[in-house]
Chain A
Amino acid sequence: MSWTQTCSPESSRSGILGELDAVRAQVSEAVLALRGALVAEWSSVAAAEYQALVARHLEAVLRLARTVDVAEGSVRGAQLTREQATGLPW
């Protein structure tokens, strides 16, 4: 299950990875706002077109979420190399 489908608890990580957790939390908020609109009760006969508009943007935000996962790998690598170079955890 992707993290965009779960609640986002307060980050327990500090530093740069904590900031990335904040990014995840906000992207989750965006997903939640759009997903909430999709499952809400729609009233008009034109509901399908408005739902399609929301669904299209939800797909774009989910694509962004996947990019966050890719970027986290690079940031984690940079932090590890930095710790090895300085002997100090960040």
Chain B
Amino acid sequence: MTLAPSRGPLVLAAPADPSPLRIFGGRGGTVARLEDLDRSAQALDGAARALDAAFAALTRVQAKLDEWSAAPLDPTPEQIASITTARAARGAVEPLRHGPWGTRALAGELRDAAAKVRSARQGYESAEGLASRAFRGVLSYLVTGFTATPLGTVVLSKPLVLSLATEAAVWKLGGGPYPGDRTEKYLFVLANMIRSIGSGPRLASGDPVPEAAGRLARTIRLAQPPRKIEALEVPGGGSTGEPPRGVRDLVRPFKDAGTLNPDGSFRGDGVIVTKISRPDGSTAWSVTIPGTQRAGAGWEDHPFDNLSNLELEAGMLSDSEKAVRLAMEKAGVGAEDPVVLTGHSQGGLIAQRIAATGGFSVAAVLTIGSPTGTSTMRSTVPTLHVEHVGEPVSSLDANPNRDDKLSTTVVRELDEESSRDPRVIHDTATYEETAAAIDASEDPSVRSWLDELEGALGSDGEAESRVFSVHRLATL
């Protein structure tokens, strides 16, 4: 709050919104609001139709009373009494038809209210993401122009390579922000090209990554011998403390996990499974899943590699998901115990898969810098996606995150220096700062997700963490 000078009394002026966070989806998001607007409009319209029918029945009642009110030429006293009461009854019925609280007026009000709700719905819907949807529509049309033509993919590869080279040169020379957001558009084109290779001319897909990733993953798998997946507890890696109470508490453990570097620091390559013993005797779990650890594709001894990335985006079972499930089973996570999964980068994809495919009672998911916009990564439990502007990894889905009741996305704009370096943008330490800002947010979607977190893990109790290293072993 600042004091703005003015003539006369001082005026209190609210400061500009200092929050660097942009939040969409969740219970405060468009889809949730649209569903409620639809429900309101349907109820109001249904009631209006019923009152229209009531008005018609009342009209028939009045017609009959009009008939009874007609006086003969020489009425008897009984007939006069009958006519008088009929006319009085007509007067009593009239407000039901045309009075300010009558059926006609109420039906009109209900219809007006329904129309206003529908109008609000339209305005709300078109205000959200219209420009983005229009851009994607034009892009799809253009890409189809190539992928639906013989040799079109080959022709398209030239401008794509040129664009990428130009982006790289401009970024390196100019030192501006890392163009991670535009990656989404390039990936959209590239994934559609991969889809059309060898399968003949095809229309562009709005969600091309899962199919393209699946094709690549299956091809790589053909060249890989079967491997055994193992999760082993890291001796001395455990710790005790308080249960996580916010996003920052969930992000902080990433740096203290995994196997040890020669200098004694942690590599952050392990899976942390934290048991929370609640005062009422119940048990809840928090699982921290790291991101990609190796650049290879299937031949690495750590299963968190690029083959797993491709399989996860394709909606397939990956070695990294198997490893996390194994670590959870070895830690003793019960099928009915509430679990909160937190994943960085690839870890976020694994978390979404485990939540969607079952085996554990996942109550909430937190993804950090993960590409979760594909149809294969749709949320099935309350999920908070945290990203940074220019994120090099979360844009690999070639699609924005969904705006639905279960998915809340928080995007933070970093300072100028941080936004130049893709490693800083994607680093868990940077995300820890973002997490602190999220915990302080009053946004209804964020608060709703934090309520889910508290509901799952409780606000008190004791936490005991164990760290598991995960391996892809050769089989004999």
A and B from one complex: yes
For B95, list chain A residues within 8 Å (CB).
67, 71
Chain A interface size, as a band, is: 35 or more
B-contact bits for A22-58, CB 8 A (1 contact / 0 none): 1100110111011011001011111100100110010
Instruction: Please choose the segment from B29-37, B170-178, B203-211 that sits at the chain A interface, where 4 or more of its residues have CB less than 8 A away.
Output: B29-37
- Asked, given contacts A16-B61, A50-B36, whether A45 binds B27 with beta carbons under 8 Å apart, the answer is yes
Tally A-B pairs: CB < 8 A.
Answer: 164
For residue B377, CB closer than 8 A to chain A, the reply is: no
Is A82 in the interface zone, CB < 8 Å from B? yes
- If A26-B50, A40-B39 touch, whether A74 touches B68 (CB-CB below 8 Å) is no
B89/A71 in contact, CB under 8 A: yes
- Chain A residues, Cβ within 8 Å of B44: 34, 53-54, 57
Taking CB atoms, residues of chain A closer than 8 Å to B79 are 85-86
B36 / chain A contacts, CB cutoff of 8 Å: 42-44, 46-47, 50
A33 B96 Cβ-Cβ under 8 A: no
The complex places the Cα of A84 from the Cα of B76 at a distance, in Å, of 12
Interface of A is mostly: helix
B54 engages A23 (CB within 8 Å): yes
Q: Check: B331 CB closer than 8 A to any chain A CB.
A: no
Contact between A75 and B405 (Cβ–Cβ < 8 Å)? Answer: no
B113 touches A60 (CB 8 A): no
What count of chain B residues pass the 8 Å CB interface test? 55
Cβ-defined contact, B448 with A77, below 8 A: no
Bound complex: CA of A61 vs CA of B58, how far in Å?
15
Given the complex of chains A and B, what is the CA–CA distance between A50 and B35 in angstroms? Answer: 11
A2 to B90, CA, bound (A): 24
In angstroms, how far is the closest chain B Cβ from the Cβ of A26?
A: 4
Q: Does B356 contact A (CB under 8 A)?
A: no
- By beta carbon, the residue of chain B nearest A73 is B92
B101 touches A27 (CB 8 A): no
- A82: min CB distance to chain B, Å: 5
Once the chains are docked, how many angstroms separate the CA of A67 from the CA of B106?
A: 13
Measured CB to CB, the closest approach of chain B to A35, in angstroms, equals 9
Asked if A26 contacts B53 (CB within 8 A), the reply is yes
The distance in angstroms between the C-alpha atoms of A16 and B36, with both chains bound, is: 40
Establish whether residues A16 and B32, one from each chain, have CB atoms under 8 Å apart when the complex forms: no
B439-476 interface bits toward A, Cβ cutoff 8 Å, 1 = contact, 0 = none: 00000110010000000000000000000000000000
Given contacts A77-B88, A81-B85, A85-B81, 4 further A-B contacts (CB under 8 A): A26-B50, A54-B40, A54-B44, A85-B82
Q: Enumerate 13 A-B pairs (CB-CB under 8 Å) in ascending A order.
A: A22-B57, A23-B61, A29-B47, A30-B47, A33-B47, A44-B36, A45-B28, A54-B44, A67-B101, A78-B82, A78-B89, A81-B78, A82-B68
Q: Which residues of A contact B (CB under 8 A)?
A: 15-16, 19-20, 22-23, 26-27, 29-31, 33-34, 36-37, 40, 42-47, 50, 53-54, 57, 60-61, 63-64, 67-68, 70-71, 73-75, 77-78, 81-82, 84-86
The 10 closest A-B pairs by CB, nearest first: A37-B43, A33-B46, A44-B32, A26-B54, A29-B50, A74-B92, A45-B444, A78-B89, A85-B82, A30-B50
